[in-house]
Amino acid sequence: MNDEAAKYLYDMSEGRADMKVLLGGKGANLAEMKRLGIPVPDGFTVSTVACVDTMEAHGRWPDGLWDDITAAVARLEERTGRTLGGEKPLLLSVRSGAVFSMPGMMDTILNLGIGDETVHALASEADNPRFAWDSYRRFLQMYGDVVEGVPPHVYEDELTSLKARRGVAQDTDLSTEDLQELVATFKDVSRRELGRDLPTDPLEQLRGAVDAVFRSWDTPRARVYRKANNIPDDLGTAVNVMQMVFGNRGDTSATGVCFTRNPSTGEHELYGEFLVNAQGEDVVSGIRTPRPLAEMEGVLPEAYAQLRQTMHDLEAHYKDMQDIEFTVEDGTLYLLQTRNGKRTAAAALRVARDMVQEGVLTREEALQRVEPSQLDQLLHPAIDPQHGRSPVTRGLPASPGAAVGELVFDADTAAERGGAGEPVVLVRYETTPDDIHGVIVAQGVLTAHGGMTSHAAVVARGMGKPCVAGASAIRIDTSEKTLTIGDAVYHEGDLLTLDGTTGDVYGEALELVPPQINEDFEAIVSWADDVRRLGVRANADTDEDAAKARELGAEGIGLCRTEHMFMAADRLPAVRRMILAETEDERAAALEQILPMQQEDFEGIFTAMKGLPVTVRLLDPPLHEFLPDLVEQSLLVQRLELTGGDAQELERARVLLGQVKRLHEQNPMLGTRGCRLAMLYPEIPDMQTRAIIRAALAVREREGETVGVEIMIPLVAYASEIKAQREIVERAVADELQAAGASLDVTIGTMIELPRAAIVADQIAEHADFFSFGTNDLTQTGIGISRDDAEGGFLTHYVTDEVIPSNPFESIDQDGVGGLVQIGVDRGRSARPGLKMGVCGEHGGDPESIQFFENAGLDYVSCSPFRVPIARFAAARAVLKGERRADG
């Protein structure tokens, strides 16, 4: 290890904002603030390297770490003129600080260094015994919980029982004597729970605290959070050790949290909360409901003015919205943390757009401030504004969006039922980091307690989950599993609707409406259009979908599946006649009936897309899909036989059953489908081609323009298949054009959705004007997984157990299936340089896969209409990441 690059410990004055990997986000930003001359308590940071080395040695600290820490403490004592455990005591805070922020997931210990002697020294120095004893009881509680593993409720129960005995509601109502009693009780708790006292030597405490923070990297909740947020498990956390400043030193002290802009809406306005005479955890934990920041002006005017100026300076320095923690000790302001604030999707867009308008960011920079998943959130539903129902209660609008689900009262039940796909709403008195697994799968979260910066609010906003916090009128009984609002009692499983945008709660399921795409959204996505290289098309097979796709910015249709057109109730009889036909004439007659219906479908789609290209895929699924189910048809025949019903009906049912049996296949997805079917029944592609050409000409006649007609042959494995199919299609096109006396440009291409097709792409390219990678089938056949059987089965376990990083049907398996795509691209273009290529599997709308397709050198992606804006944006991000292969 290079000493220059990685030490185990850095004094705060040695750090900078760009040292996050070593110092964690908090440590790096504290150092940066110190550099900028912003008041920050002095201290040092134990680096992530020390944590990683400790984890690798199964918990054993690396040589030299402890010496580094004791030396740093000595330096800090020197600088502050105080000593740990001394007459003029130095008290420390010990906080975790990972590279990527994980709000509330890891541990903190405050007031370290306090003991039976120092408590008196602290009391007389501050001239405030109550404050000193309050700090002492907090230390015992936190150390016992975090370092020694005493269940936190044991302390909370003692605190609650003391308050009950004294007849007071707030912690701040307890007297010095009460707090002294509590300290004695907490010491008893340690003896009872651990069989010994907590360590009294401050250095020993510090060692225990640093070690506990290291360990907190690996708690189940931290792991769950990292998994949900794609944070690697091997980064480790830094540990920030700082001189304590006290927000609980009386009425001229306070602690608070603020954002430089509104993290829910993005509006440039004052946003924050504070509590007088409190320590940091009181604000974020939701134990006391804090006051709006604006009220601080009247209480602590000088510190308030300084805070406002600092907020402004920090935002200008970082060029991003900041999330700030501060403490005021006896009127003096200290910053304890600044970081880029987590925000809702709507706020992310608003802030990015405003900052471009304010001249702070370029458009490219702004695009990198928004995540594709945030656009996705904005495409989520809201409560139908016409609902006309009254809310049963109201809380704080902590994270916007609407959620409907069945009421559950604990995170485990939420995880179980939500994980099984049931919509649930998690209702808690307040959430803690241990609830994270329930929050992840819930539709939304409702809490009785806590403010806009409470744990539930911060976590829900980060995930784009609706959250109503601090709904103080609700009563929750977790043992009875009841929620009482006024006179109404709700039980587990009852339906609730939350509106995280307004804070309203409804005791019923309300209709949700599709989201509105606002100006911020449009602006950001249109900037993305100026940057992206990949084209973006949509998969659509109705005129409504086509119109929606066009409205959302699709540049054409990349996949128009034709099978749905055959399934419609008015089509099915003719389709079945075609399948059951005994002779070619019978089949031709049935197809003759289907043709005008197909033509009508195409006319609708072509009208919606006129001026743009449309890729129509010829019939793909196996024919049995248009026939009744084998078991059902057998039962029908049996029933008719047993009841001796109508002879004609029985005969018809038998004929159909015979046909169903004949068409039955063991593995239909690998059977007679795609072009294989068309090879057996060339009349089908012939009819479909004629319908396409007639539709295109009719639309041109009527509308003055038509679409770019692209006809696509599915499930090709052999060059000879596409060669034969191409001839059929070309003949039908020529026939139709000749009959109409018209001309029309038509291209004929193929799907590459079988491994063999990718491997012989050079041979196939000889007969194809374009390729479209069908990554759904390519994933099934490339990995050898049947999607319908695997999802909800072993594949779920594979993802949960991290056998594979993600579901390969959602995000492309880059090494395997992606490798096949790359082979297909390279070999196809080796035979036909510049061959147009796209992708129309579901991966075409997945941002990570889009990055891969950008690098692989495809020309366009095609995805479902609602994902078009995300794909446009993700395609720009892929360019900005600049990872495109030089030869791609």
Nearer to Mg ion, 263 or 774 (CB): 774
From 94-102, 212-220, 607-615, 773-781, span contacting ligand PEP (CB under 6 A): 773-781
When asked if residue 541 is in the footprint of Mg ion (CB under 5 A), the reply is no
Report the nearest approach of Mg ion to the CB of residue 629 (Å).
22
| Spatial CB neighbours of 797, under 8 Å, sequence gap ≥ 6 | 803
Q: How far is the CB of 850 from ligand PEP (least distance, A)?
A: 15
Q: Cβ closer to Mg ion: 406 or 777?
A: 777
Token duo for residue 610: 């006129």
Rank residues 210 and 715 by Cβ distance to ligand PEP and give the closer one. Answer: 715
Q: Which of 559, 764, 858, 871 binds ligand PEP (CB under 6 A)?
A: 559
Catalytic hit among 51, 840, 843, 863:
840
State the binding partner of 541 from ligand PEP, Mg ion, none, CB within 5 to 8 A by kind. none
Query: Which whole-number Å values give the CA distances from 861 to 46, 769, 844, 867, in the listed order?
Result: 46, 17, 5, 11
Three-class HEC string of 284-329: HCCCCCCEEHHHHHHHCHHHHHHHHHHHHHHHHHHCCCEEEEEEEE
Which pair of structure tokens corresponds to residue 236?
């480790």
Verify binding: residue 824, ligand PEP, rule CB under 6 A.
no
Rank residues 351 and 712 by Cβ distance to Mg ion and give the closer one.
712
447: helix, coil or strand?
Answer: strand
Closest of 6, 7, 22 to residue 238, by C-alpha: 22
The site map against Mg ion for 239-278 (x = CB under 5 A) is ----------------------------------------
For Cα atoms 203, 208, 212, give the angle at the middle one, nearest 5 degrees.
145
Q: Which does 677 bind (CB under 5 to 8 A by kind): Mg ion, ligand PEP, none?
A: none
Region from 143-151, 170-178, 396-404, 775-783 binding ligand PEP, contact rule CB under 6 A: 775-783
Is residue 391 a contact point for Mg ion (CB under 5 A)?
A: no
Q: Give the SS3 label for residue 444.
A: strand
Question: 10 phi and psi, to 5 degrees?
Answer: -130, 130
Whole-number Å distance between alpha carbons of 726 and 767: 7
Binder of ligand PEP out of 841, 845, 857, 865 (CB under 6 A): 841
Q: Which is nearer to Mg ion, 599 or 781 (CB)?
A: 781
Q: Toward ligand PEP, which CB reaches closer, 325 or 620?
A: 620
**Residue 176 or residue 776: which is nearer to ligand PEP going by CB?**
776
| Total residue length of the chain | 888
**Whole-angstrom distance, CA of residue 155 vs CA of residue 287:** 14
User: With binding defined as CB under 6 A, does residue 865 bind ligand PEP?
Assistant: no
How far is the CA of 236 from the CAs of 28, 74, 429, in angstroms? 15, 26, 31
- The correct pick among 41, 341, 621, 774 for binding Mg ion (CB under 5 A) is 774
Per partner kind, with CB cut-offs from 5 to 8 A, the member of ligand PEP, Mg ion, none near residue 775 is ligand PEP
Is residue 395 within the footprint of ligand PEP (CB under 6 A)? no
Please, are residues 143 and 112 in contact by the beta-carbon 8 Å criterion?
Answer: yes
Q: If we measure between CA atoms, which residue out of 238, 224, 137, 121 comes closest to residue 188?
A: 137
Q: Which of residues 563-622 bind ligand PEP (CB under 6 A)?
A: 620
Residue 561, strand partner residues: 617
Segment lying near ligand PEP (by CB under 6 A), choices 232-240, 443-451, 624-632, 768-776 = 768-776
Distances (CA, A) of 662 to 75, 214, 439, 605: 86, 65, 50, 35
Query: Hey, what amino acid is at 828?
Result: G
Shortest separation between residue 678's beta carbon and ligand PEP, angstroms? 15
Q: Is residue 504 near Mg ion by the rule CB under 5 A?
A: no
CB 719 within 8 A of CB 764: yes
Residues 777-806 that bind ligand PEP (CB under 6 A): 777
Region from 24-32, 94-102, 688-696, 749-757 binding Mg ion, contact rule CB under 5 A: 749-757
Residues 138-177 that bind ligand PEP (CB under 6 A): none
Q: What's the DSSP call for residue 148? A: T
What type of residue is 849? S
Instruction: Note whether 753 binds Mg ion by CB under 5 A.
Output: yes
Binding flag, residue 79, ligand PEP (CB under 6 A): no
Q: Binding mask 742-761 vs ligand PEP (x if CB under 6 A, - otherwise)?
A: -----------x--------
For ligand PEP, the closer CB: 424 or 559: 559
Q: Which is nearer to Mg ion, 407 or 778 (CB)?
A: 778
Q: Which of 79, 187, 561, 723 lies at the binding interface for ligand PEP (CB under 6 A)?
A: 561
Q: Which residues pair with 331 in a beta bridge?
A: none
User: Using CB distances below 5 to 8 A depending on partner kind, what does residue 765 bind out of Mg ion, ligand PEP, none?
Assistant: none
Taking CB under 6 A as the binding criterion, the range among 23-31, 131-139, 579-587, 769-777 that sits at the site for ligand PEP is: 769-777
Q: What is the CA radius of gyration of the chain?
A: 33
Other C-beta atoms within 10 Å of 350: how many? 26
Query: Applying CB under 6 A, which part among 197-205, 564-572, 659-667, 774-782 lies near ligand PEP?
Result: 774-782
Cα–Cα distance measured from residue 505 to residue 485, given in angstroms and rounded to the nearest whole number: 10
**345 by DSSP, 3-state: which?**
helix
Q: Is 723 in the site for ligand PEP (CB under 6 A)?
A: no
Active-site pick, 455, 624, 767, 843: 455
Q: From the list ligand PEP, Mg ion, none, which binds 561 (C-beta under 5 to 8 Å, kind-based)?
A: ligand PEP
Cα–Cα distances in angstroms (integers) from residue 279 to residues 246, 288, 449, 721, in the given order:
7, 11, 18, 74
Q: Quick one: which of 88, 2, 94, 98 has its CA closest to 48?
A: 98
Which does residue 841 touch among Mg ion, ligand PEP, none (CB within 5 to 8 A, set by kind)?
ligand PEP
What the block records as the tokens of 86 is: 């001394």
414 Cβ neighbours under 8 A, 6+ residues apart: 408, 424, 426, 437, 438, 439, 441, 442
- Size of interface with Mg ion, in residues (CB under 5 A): 3
# binding residues, ligand PEP (CB under 6 A): 10
Q: Could you tell me the smallest distance in angstroms from the CB atom of residue 617 to Mg ion?
A: 8
What is the layout of strands, in order, in the sheet containing 495-499? 393-394, 504-506, 495-499, 402-408, 424-428, 444-447, 467-469, 396-399
Residue 546 Cβ, how far from Mg ion at the closest point, in Å? Answer: 20
306 binds ligand PEP (CB under 6 A): no
For ligand PEP, give the closer residue by CB, 712 or 874.
712
> Closer CB to Mg ion, residue 103 or residue 714?
714
Told to judge if 863 belongs to the known catalytic residues of this protein, a careful annotator would answer no
- Nearest approach, Cβ of residue 674 and Mg ion (Å): 7
Contact 328, 306 (CB under 8 A): no
Q: Of these partners, ligand PEP, Mg ion, none, which one is at the site of residue 247 (CB under 5 to 8 Å by kind)?
A: none
161 contact partners, CB below 8 Å, separation of at least 6: none
Q: Any alpha helices (H) in 554-629, and if so which ranges?
A: 563-567, 572-580, 584-608
Residues 6+ apart with CB under 8 A from 636: 628, 653, 657
Give the whole-angstrom CA distance, residue 240 versus residue 232: 21
Smallest separation (angstroms) from ligand PEP to the CB of 709: 19
Closest approach, Cβ 841 to ligand PEP, in A, equals 3
How far is Cα 651 from Cα 766, in angstroms, rounded to an integer?
A: 49
Choose which of 315, 376, 499, 777 interacts with Mg ion (CB under 5 A).
Answer: 777
Stretch in the footprint of Mg ion (CB under 5 A) among 288-296, 622-630, 768-776, 820-828: 768-776
Task: Please say if 491 is a catalytic residue.
Answer: no
Out of 205, 775, 822, 851, which residue is the one contacting ligand PEP (CB under 6 A)?
775
Closest CA to 527 of 646, 656, 365: 365
- The C-alpha atoms of residue 869 and residue 734 are separated, in whole angstroms, by 38
Summarize as ranges the residues that interact with Mg ion (CB under 5 A): 753, 774, 777
Instruction: Return the active site residues.
Output: 455, 840
Summarize as ranges the residues that interact with ligand PEP (CB under 6 A): 559, 561, 620, 753, 774-777, 840-841
